[in-house]
């Protein structure tokens, strides 16, 4: 199985060694990184041949022959943007980097156009009561509310399927039959859907203890009341590249104090800040988890995702954030629902 490390090299490696790596890999490219794993260039067979024509030997390092200004894509860019970039530049492969320039993936144009199925499970938490959305949820579970002429949950399923994630588990409770009757086994939507019944409130992580089989690959967990254009494939790449145990999508949230804030020290006014703006990162309700973290979740008990992350942090596990800048909306209140319907066509290019 291909891993990014198979084609990652440092500048001090020899041309001969790099050729062996390129020939061995089906990707036919080497990605050159520095000691911090930041992408600094690429190297393919053509680059090596041009180097040899200039007088370099197979025993020389690749320092003077690798391509230093490759076209790259950011981890926050959509699949459509990357396809457009690749076709415009007339290239078949584009390295993927995060906001710090760290290499996290390699995108192939053919694979992007003909999306391959992936083994990672998608677990959707869709059992909530939707109390804050009443009376809309009196007869309809929140994930089944119509936005853009389809249920919120259908948009979520379609977005995961778009990226090749078609193995879906829905954790259901409130008015679960409505969800099951609509989606069935998922075949109508091009996916496979299983259901886990929560006989009591389990929280945003507790239902994971009810999984009949332990996932063998990192898996997604997502709340069923979200609308987002986040690139799920990039989230997976990021999680794997950084060897994370648990990755939380986070969203920047800010609010402005409507007054002048007076800073005081021992009764003395030290400064006055007029209407300061405070910024925070908040959980976006989307997670990527490695299978072995399920051992932290108590069996058949209420357990929230923040509690899981706190436990992982306390145990010094590698826990990361994945900032998202794409469209994202938590449909928690009636005004959020109205906003979602107003924005849907534009956000999802309908």
Residue 242 has pLDDT above 60, yes or no: yes
pLDDT of residue 261: 87
Per domain, the residue ranges of the chain are: 4-113, 122-347
Mean pLDDT of 281-289: 91
pLDDT band for position 155 (cuts 50, 70, 90): very high
CB 246 within 8 A of CB 288: yes
Q: Which CATH architecture has domain 122-347?
A: Alpha-Beta Complex (3.90)
**Tell me, which fold does domain 4-113 have in CATH?**
CBS-domain (3.10.580)
Residues 73-97 have a mean pLDDT of 84
Average pLDDT over every residue of 149-168: 91
CB 127 within 8 A of CB 198: yes
pLDDT at 290 over 60: yes
292 closest CA partner among 281, 274, 308 = 308
Stronger pLDDT, 220 or 265, i.e. the higher one: 220
Residue tagged active-site, from 275, 299, 316, 346: 275
Would you say 124 and 170 are in contact if contact means Cβ atoms under 8 Å apart? yes
DSSP state of 296: G
125 close to 204: Cβ distance less than 8 angstroms:
yes
* Mean pLDDT to the nearest integer, 90-118: 82
| Least confident among 67-81, 129-143, 253-267, 300-314 | 129-143
Question: Band of the pLDDT at 330, cuts 50, 70, 90?
Answer: confident
| Residue 350 pLDDT greater than 60, yes or no | no
Q: Is 275 among the catalytic positions?
A: yes
What is the rounded average pLDDT of the residues 46-61? 83
User: Given this model, what pLDDT does residue 325 score?
Assistant: 75
Which residues, in sequence order, are bridge partners of residue 43? 30
| Secondary structure of residue 50 in the 3-state scheme | helix
Range name among 106-120, 262-276, 329-343 with the lowest pLDDT average: 106-120
**Phi and psi (nearest 5°) for 148?**
70, 35
pLDDT cut 90: percent of the chain above it = 29
pLDDT greater than 70 at residue 32: yes
Range 12-25 burial, b when 16+ CB lie within 10 A, else e: ebebebbbebbeee
For CA atoms 255, 259, 264, 270, the dihedral sign is positive
Is residue 142 a contact partner of residue 133, using CB atoms and an 8 Å limit?
Answer: yes
Residue 285 near residue 223 (C-beta atoms within 8 A):
yes
Q: CB–CB of 70/41 below 8 Å?
A: yes
HEC states along 191-207? CEEEEEECCCCCHHHHH
Q: What percent of the chain has pLDDT over 70?
A: 97
What average pLDDT does the chain have? 86
Between 53-62, 125-134, 234-243, the lowest mean confidence (pLDDT) is in: 125-134
pLDDT confidence band for 39 (50 / 70 / 90)? very high
pLDDT at 199 over 60: yes
What per-residue confidence (pLDDT) applies to 140? 81
Task: Indicate the angle between helix axes 152-162 and 176-183, nearest 10 degrees.
Answer: 50
Judged against a pLDDT cut of 80, whether residue 15 lies above it is answered with yes
**pTM here?**
0.72
Helix-helix angle 45-53:15-24, to 10 degrees: 150
pLDDT at 1 > cutoff 60: no
Stronger pLDDT, 307 or 326, i.e. the higher one: 307
What's the pLDDT at 52?
80
- State the Cα–Cα distance between residues 193 and 207, nearest whole angstrom: 16
């Amino acid at each position: 199985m291909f891993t990014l490390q198979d084609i990652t090299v440092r500048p001090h490696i020899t041309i001969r060694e790099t050729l062996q790596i390129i020939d061995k890999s089906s990707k036919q490219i080497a990605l050159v990184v520095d000691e911090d794993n930041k992408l600094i260039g690429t190297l393919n067979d053509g680059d090596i041949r041009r180097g040899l024509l200039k007088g370099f030997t197979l025993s020389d390092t690749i320092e003077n022959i690798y391509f230093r200004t490759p076209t790259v894509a950011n981890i926050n860019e959509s699949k459509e943007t990357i396809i457009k970039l690749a076709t415009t530049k007339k290239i078949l492969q584009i390295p993927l980097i995060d906001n710090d320039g760290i290499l996290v993936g390699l995108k192939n144009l053919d694979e992007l156009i003909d999306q391959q199925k992936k083994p990672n499970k998608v677990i959707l938490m869709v059992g909530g009561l939707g109390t804050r959305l009443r009376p809309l949820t009196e007869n309809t579970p929140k994930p089944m509310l119509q936005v853009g002429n389809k249920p919120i949950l259908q948009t979520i399923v379609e977005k995961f399927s778009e990226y090749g994630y078609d193995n879906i588990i829905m954790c259901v409770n409130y008015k679960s039959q409505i969800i099951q009757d609509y989606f069935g086994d998922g075949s109508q939507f091009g996916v496979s859907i299983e259901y886990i019944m929560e006989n009591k409130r389990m929280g945003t992580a507790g239902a994971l203890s009810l999984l009949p089989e332990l996932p063998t690959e990192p898996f997604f967990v997502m709340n069923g009341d979200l609308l987002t254009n986040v690139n799920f494939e990039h989230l997976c790449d990021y999680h794997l590249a950084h060897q994370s145990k648990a990755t939380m999508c986070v969203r920047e949230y800010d609010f402005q104090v409507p007054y002048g804030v007076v800073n005081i020290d021992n009764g003395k006014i030290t400064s006055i800040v007029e209407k300061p703006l405070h910024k925070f990162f908040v959980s976006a309700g989307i997670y990527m988890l490695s299978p072995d973290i399920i051992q932290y979740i108590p069996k058949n008990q209420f357990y929230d995702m923040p509690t899981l992350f706190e436990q992982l942090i306390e145990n010094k596990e590698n826990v990361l954030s994945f900032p998202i800048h794409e469209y994202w909306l938590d449909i928690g209140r009636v005004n959020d629902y109205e906003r979602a319907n107003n924005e849907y066509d534009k956000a999802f290019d309908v």
